[in-house]
Structures are given as C-alpha cells and as structure tokens.
C-alpha cells in the first residue's frame, strides 16, 4: 500500500555516503534520534524509541511496563501472532479474548477473562481500525490494568482526536513492508511514561550500560537484547513520515466513496467502527448474514476478476492457527518457558473463541489502494453491487 520513491533512495544514499550507519558512537543526534523526535511529536507522546520491528516494539513495551512470569495479559483472538508472542517473550501469559462484530477486542469478553493475575491488556487496532478505547480504558481503570496498544497496523490512525499508540501507557508501531509506512522492517515504542521509556530503552540495547545516555537514567541497567534501529532505515522513515498524512487522506477519501455508494445495499452491512474519522482506511469490511453468503460473495467477485478475501482465511491472524501458543511452546527451552514457570495450567483450545471465528467468517475485506484510479474505483463499486445483488436474489429463491 505504501509509496516508495526517489526521496527515500536519496535519504538512504545520504546516510551510506556519510559512513555513519550506527545510531550511537558518532550517530547521536542523527537520523534515528531525529526520527524518534518527529514520531513522538506526530503521535503525541513524550517519547518514541525506534526499534527493528513491531514485535520488538511490543516486547520492549511489555518489558517497559514490567510484565514478567505469571502475569496474564489479555489479547484479542484476532491479531497477528506477534501480539501473543511478545507477551511470552516478556515472560507473561497471553489470555485470549473474543473480538466483537467490529473485529476488535470485545471489552465485555475481555472483562470476563480478568483474574487476579491479570496485569495488562493489549487492544489491537487491526487493519488500522481503532478499538473501542473508551470502553477499554474504563475497564483498565476499574481493574487496575496497564494498557499497551498494538498499533502495528495503524500508523497514523487516531481515536477521538488522539493518535493510536498514545492512549495507553505504551504503544507499538510497525514499519514492515505491509504497513501504512515502511522501511522494510522496523518499529517504534511510544510512551509518555519516563520509567516505561527507560526500561524499553535498556531492553532494546545490550550496550545500554555504556551509552552516554546511561548516566542520567533513573532505572538501573538490566540485561537486555538488541533491537537497535540503524541510520539508513531511520532516514527512509523520516521521508515516509512526510508522506503519511497525504496517504491517509487518499485512503480515507477512497473508503468514504465506497461507503457512500454501498451504504444502502441490503446484502451486507459495514462492520461497526469506533471512530471512522481516525480509521487508517486500509480496508472496507463488509459483514454478511452468514459465512456461506460471504464465501459466495468472494467467489462472485473472483468471477468478476476482483480479488477480495475474508479475514477467516488470513492464516496466523486467527488464533485457531496459532500452533506455538495453542500447543504451549512458549520459549526455546522448557526451563524458561512462561507456560512452565507460571505455576498453573493454562488452557487453550481451537474453539475457545467461537464468536471471533463466526464474525471473521462472515466478513469480507475490500482493500483500499493508494494507486487506484477513479474509474477503477467506480468499476469496483459496480462490481460489488452486481455480485451482492446477484447473491441476494439467488438466496431469495
């Protein structure tokens, strides 16, 4: 979906020619520091920490908030497997909760999953669609839970005027190739909490004890890992950030055009949104009465030469395909596996979130595309109408 052009190539060339590719040891004040300042300002947090991936960002955020052995973290049953994996990487136990018809975390089901061990909750803004953050933040307040937003698919999205990632205690963004903006692989932790930031900073750099910034840190340096961003990718991201507002405007306008044209179609409704203004508009989700209707619609569109798909077929975004989680292989060695260390038996099953499976199977995603010409958009809308009406008259018989 992203745009990648001459400006990114020029930014990368500039860094390569400077021979300063490392963010520290001469790179201080360079591309990574500047990207972090720009990203923090754009998201509206006191801090941003650039890292090597969204998974690294989630892991550093969870380490940052203090997740450890025995802590339960509620995650939705529909997300990329990186979300529960990051919980395990931090030593916690991912607890799966249903999504509702908005395809995002159902606050009521999340509440039913809270135990005395629950420490945090991760709302995931899937496909750039903002979660019901009012309900989730209220739930967290009521039960004393920490909130980490997984905004990996939602770079630049917002909820009621606040950028996604800035509403919880910490947030995580991804810049891998399939995200709104990209540098191939990359991510960022965002937070306004000094302690969370310092802990994430320490965890992301095995050399944290030796950096110039180690001196003023209030948090004692502990053993971390290496998720440091490099100057070439940060330079590319700085260009990408300048493209982000225009890119979102285009996608949102395209989605609005589709919604205006399709809003009265009787064959489907739109999955409810929690803030259409803040949606990144990567997809238009259509909700059908049942899974076979959705399946028939997909086949009909394919007959028209148009590729649309159901999120139920999106593989590892669906919890029932999360082998390492369901089979509780939580680490590379049994002695450090959070499932073995938590002191009780965690139970998962392929059918444990039936409403999630139902809503996913009833939904069809129509993608927005940055390079879609107006005539192509009109043809797409007409094709959706033709196929949906044909299916409807077919079932009515």
Ligand X SMILES: Cc1ncc(COP(=O)(O)O)c(C=O)c1O
Cβ-count burial 255-264 (b if 16+ within 10 Å, e if not): bebbeebbee
End-to-end CA distance of the chain: 40
Structure tokens at 295: 């399946």
Cβ closest to ligand X, residue 217 vs residue 233: 233
3-state secondary structure of 153: coil
Q: Which residue is nearest to ligand X (CB)?
A: 54
Q: Give me the 290-329 binding string for ligand X, x by CB under 6 A, dash otherwise.
A: ----------------------------------------
Cβ closest to ligand X, residue 131 vs residue 380: 131
Residues in contact with 294: Cβ distance below 8 Å, sequence separation at least 6, in sequence order: 286, 288, 310, 361, 362, 363, 364
**Residue 176 found at the interface with ligand X (CB under 6 A):** yes
Select from 39-47, 53-61, 282-290, 319-327 the region that touches ligand X (CB under 6 A). 53-61
**Residue 174 found at the interface with ligand X (CB under 6 A):** yes
Cα–Cα distance measured from residue 150 to residue 53, given in angstroms and rounded to the nearest whole number: 12
Cα–Cα distance measured from residue 283 to residue 45, given in angstroms and rounded to the nearest whole number: 27
Neighbours of 269 (CB within 10 A): 15
* Binder among 32, 45, 79, 166 for ligand X (CB under 6 A): 79
| CA 350 to each of CA 85, 92, 133, 292, 326: distance values in angstroms, whole numbers, following the listed order | 17, 21, 27, 21, 7
* Binder among 11, 82, 121, 189 for ligand X (CB under 6 A): 82
Structure tokens at 9: 């190539």
Nearest-approach distance from CB 62 to ligand X, in angstroms: 12
**Residue 59 found at the interface with ligand X (CB under 6 A):** no
**Residue 187 found at the interface with ligand X (CB under 6 A):** yes
Hey, which residues does 345 pair with through a beta bridge? none
Cβ closest to ligand X, residue 288 vs residue 319: 319
Select from 19-27, 78-86, 300-308, 361-369 the region that touches ligand X (CB under 6 A). 78-86
Cβ closest to ligand X, residue 224 vs residue 300: 224
For every residue of 21-80, DSSP letters joined together read -SSSTT-TTSHHHHHHHHHHHHHT-SEEEEES-HHHHHHHHHHHHT--TT-EEEEESBS-
**Residue 282 found at the interface with ligand X (CB under 6 A):** no
* Binder among 11, 61, 124, 148 for ligand X (CB under 6 A): 124
**Residue 153 found at the interface with ligand X (CB under 6 A):** yes
**Residue 99 found at the interface with ligand X (CB under 6 A):** no
Alpha helices by DSSP H, 124-205: 133-143, 194-203
* Binder among 35, 42, 80, 268 for ligand X (CB under 6 A): 80
Nearest-approach distance from CB 292 to ligand X, in angstroms: 28
**Residue 150 found at the interface with ligand X (CB under 6 A):** yes
Binding site for ligand X (CB under 6 A): 53-55, 58, 79-80, 82-83, 124, 150, 152-153, 174, 176, 187
């Amino acid at each position: 979906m992203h745009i990648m052009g001459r400006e990114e190539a020029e930014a990368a060339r500039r860094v390569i020619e400077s021979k300063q590719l490392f963010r520290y040891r001469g790179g201080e004040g360079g591309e990574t520091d500047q990207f972090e300042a720009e990203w923090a300002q754009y998201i509206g947090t006191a801090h941003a920490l650039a890292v090597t991936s969204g998974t690294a960002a989630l892991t550093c955020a969870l380490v940052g908030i203090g997740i450890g052995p025995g802590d339960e973290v509620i995650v939705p049953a529909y997300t990329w497997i990186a979300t529960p994996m990051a919980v395990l990487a931090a030593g916690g136990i991912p607890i799966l909760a249903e999504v509702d018809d908005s395809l995002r975390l159902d606050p009521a089901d999340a509440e039913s999953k809270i135990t005395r061990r629950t420490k945090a909750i991760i709302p995931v803004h899937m496909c750039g669609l903002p979660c019901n953050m009012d309900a989730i933040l209220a739930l967290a307040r009521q039960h004393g839970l920490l909130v980490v937003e997984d905004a990996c698919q939602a770079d630049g999205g917002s909820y009621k005027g606040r950028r996604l990632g800035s509403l919880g205690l910490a947030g995580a963004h991804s810049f891998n190739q399939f995200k709104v903006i990209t540098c191939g692989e990359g991510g960022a932790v965002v937070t306004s909490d000094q302690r969370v930031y310092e802990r994430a900073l320490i965890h992301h750099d095995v050399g944290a004890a030796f950096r110039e910034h180690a001196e003023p840190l209030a948090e004692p340096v502990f053993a971390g890992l290496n998720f440091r961003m490099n100057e070439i990718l940060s330079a590319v991201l700085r260009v990408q950030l300048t493209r982000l507002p225009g890119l979102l405007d285009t996608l949102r306008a395209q989605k609005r055009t589709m919604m205006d044209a399709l809003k009265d179609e009787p064959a489907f409704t739109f999955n409810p949104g929690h803030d259409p203004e803040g949606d990144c508009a990567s997809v238009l989700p259509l909700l059908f009465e049942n899974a076979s209707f959705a399946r028939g619609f997909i086949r009909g569109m394919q007959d028209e030469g148009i590729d649309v798909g159901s999120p139920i077929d999106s593989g590892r975004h669906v919890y029932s395909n999360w082998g390492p989680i369901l089979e509780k292989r939580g680490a590379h060695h049994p002695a450090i596996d959070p499932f073995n260390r938590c002191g009780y038996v965690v139970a998962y099953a392929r059918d444990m979130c039936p409403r999630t499976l139902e809503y996913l199977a009833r939904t069809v995603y129509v993608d927005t595309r940055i390079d879609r010409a107006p005539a192509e958009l009109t043809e797409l809308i007409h094709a959706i109408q033709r196929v949906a009406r044909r299916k409807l008259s077919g079932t009515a018989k």
